[in-house]
Structure 1
């Protein structure tokens, strides 16, 4: 286990703006039965409008609860609020590869709805997979792949000859521990984030915040993403963190500019992938999830940053709601 300097994490959540929408989501994975037990996963989120007077109005809320067998990579059970009986068909199915396709098949139109629940489903596989950090931190072998079959050049972190690939061992990827994770919700605004429970030891969290507003005729978005892990002593540290600043044309629904600032990341090769954000300029907001999966690949990219890009597809719908209400 090695500590690395890296970049500092975002220290606090910014105040909510008047005439804005804030979307927050969290995916929490805990192991109440111990490291060799099932993963209890809770995903939740909220869209909150802050009107011109500063009054808060909840626009959308959702929650997903799942039990996952991490070793078998299988869903034991899953349910959601708003309720969806069709999810019962996911029992026994894969929690990672193929999960998004299963959602598309079971719930036609869900992906294109741009709702909180749809975003929670989109983040589900990567967030659950991220709980492997709990095993790696305790020296438990992670069954991934033989070293000669690793996903080399999948992203900047997996670059050929890089820290991860060179340091990969029988226990899995090299373990570099990030800085302590600052609290997401501050004391000054109880509505800054939706309600979520503290993580237990060996828990992991994937958190997102997107603030959306209009300024000088353009849509603006401030997007924050963090993965974190709580060790056996209850200390929460950052695994991955990115922040995006976005400008877009709300009429043409195209990006004008996107910049990415790296927070703490696990390997020294990772921050350079932030340059891929500039490629979004001129691209359409609509269909972004599909386009990112198709074209943002290789060692100039970051899979976690790509997921953050994908979440930007929802800002078109959110901006339309803001324009109609605020």
Structure 2
């Protein structure tokens, strides 16, 4: 077993990020009649060792729970890819089920900057389809980026002269100038390594509530996302709950949270606009990160369509978080999920779900 070289606080304690008073989520709200649910996972694996390429296994599913409690699968997809290391991070292989001939054009392309535009070019109409497959492709570059935590855990990265601290101050709330991560780089020359709280598998109590996944091995990372949409009796709008977690499995098999957010929103069904939107966190890597929560309120009055580009172009700076932004981007598909709800209002018997 490799022992990580921790970048510690002045008093010698490992860096630990904030967790919500109740801690990270321990379960998933049960399936209920009238609910439409999208779940996705991105598993970043290194079967050839930490120095080898990343094998990314992305899976997802949309289901609707009918009045009799039966779940109807509305859409399902899987994307697998092999991605090389730095600096190119080029795609050596990519496949999908359902397949698409345009995927071949992505081979050899970088899986980081410019990848989403490459998907738009290679798979015309994919974004507008609001499909599970598109969500899996859209999340690929950021899931790959976060998978670098596994390398840092094994051996915290030394920053070259005039490196990260100069490139990224004020990129987001966590990278604020003078904050924990920038100060750590400037003081030690290394990227600080946060250690999140242990987390249970949130699908253990109700495996039917998620699509099928494989156990995550040591050094594996998982990006997990759930979007629930439902209508409560007597309400004009639809309710939305989006759960998001990045997690890492250490050499001893312990899974810990790196980022965890839950976004709750309401949507006016007649106008398809957000009438409320709030974000909460379960666990985050830096003490400054919760400062981004208020940015979720900027969705109020907006329509889901075009949200991915809106967030990319305007949710910038220290009042935002790149991982919360990813969560908000995924809400572009809420309109399509609302359209799959049963035609009549369904009173679920509960005013809220919670994680």
Please classify the TM superposition score into its range, dividing by the shorter chain length. Answer: over 0.9
- 2:90 aligned with 1:88, yes or no? no
Q: Give the match's secondary structure for 1:160.
A: coil
Give the structure 1 partner of residue 65 of structure 2.
50
Question: Matched residues in 1 for 2:126 and 2:289: separation?
Answer: 32
- TM-score, reference length from structure 1: 0.95
**Aligned pairs (5 A) from 1:172-321:** 172-187=190-205, 189-215=206-232, 216-321=235-340
Q: Which runs of 5+ in 1 are unaligned?
A: none
Q: CA deviation at 1:23?
A: 0.4
For the aligned residues, what is the CA RMSD? 1.8
Q: CA deviation at 1:49?
A: 0.7
- 2:168 aligned with 1:151, yes or no? yes
CA contact (8 A) 2:231 2:237 kept: yes
Question: Matched residues in 2 for 1:206 and 1:136: separation?
Answer: 17
Q: Give the match's secondary structure for 2:102.
A: helix
Larger Rg: 2
CA contact (8 A) 1:62 1:117 kept: yes
CA contact (8 A) 2:81 2:95 kept: yes
CA contact (8 A) 1:139 1:171 kept: no
CA contact (8 A) 1:140 1:171 kept: no
CA contact (8 A) 2:224 2:244 kept: yes
Q: CA deviation at 1:250?
A: 1.1
**1:160–1:151: structure 2 CA closer, same or farther, 3 Å change rule?**
same
Question: Matched residues in 2 for 1:227 and 1:55: separation?
Answer: 30
Question: Matched residues in 1 for 2:190 and 2:82: separation?
Answer: 24
Give the structure 2 partner of residue 64 of structure 1.
79
1:126 pairs, out of 118, 139, 142, with: 142
Question: Matched residues in 1 for 2:251 and 2:208: separation?
Answer: 30
CA contact (8 A) 1:30 1:41 kept: yes
Q: CA deviation at 1:134?
A: 0.7
Q: Give the match's secondary structure for 1:221.
A: strand
Question: Matched residues in 1 for 2:254 and 2:295: separation?
Answer: 32
**1:140–1:171: structure 2 CA closer, same or farther, 3 Å change rule?**
farther
- TM-score, reference length from structure 2: 0.88
Q: Give the match's secondary structure for 2:283.
A: coil
Q: Give the match's secondary structure for 2:200.
A: coil
Structure 1 range deviating more: 69-78 or 163-172? 163-172
CA contact (8 A) 1:13 1:185 kept: yes
CA contact (8 A) 1:186 1:192 kept: no
Q: CA deviation at 1:171?
A: 7.0
Q: CA deviation at 1:70?
A: 2.4
CA contact (8 A) 2:159 2:185 kept: no
Question: Matched residues in 2 for 1:25 and 1:172: separation?
Answer: 33
Q: CA deviation at 1:190?
A: 2.7
**Aligned pairs (5 A) from 1:155-170:** 155-168=172-185
Q: Which runs of 5+ in 2 are unaligned?
A: 1-5, 7-13, 347-355
**1:295–1:57: structure 2 CA closer, same or farther, 3 Å change rule?**
same
Question: Matched residues in 1 for 2:68 and 2:15: separation?
Answer: 45
CA contact (8 A) 2:17 2:287 kept: no
Q: Give the match's secondary structure for 1:154.
A: coil
**Aligned pairs (5 A) from 1:99-118:** 99-118=115-134
Q: Give the match's secondary structure for 1:12.
A: coil
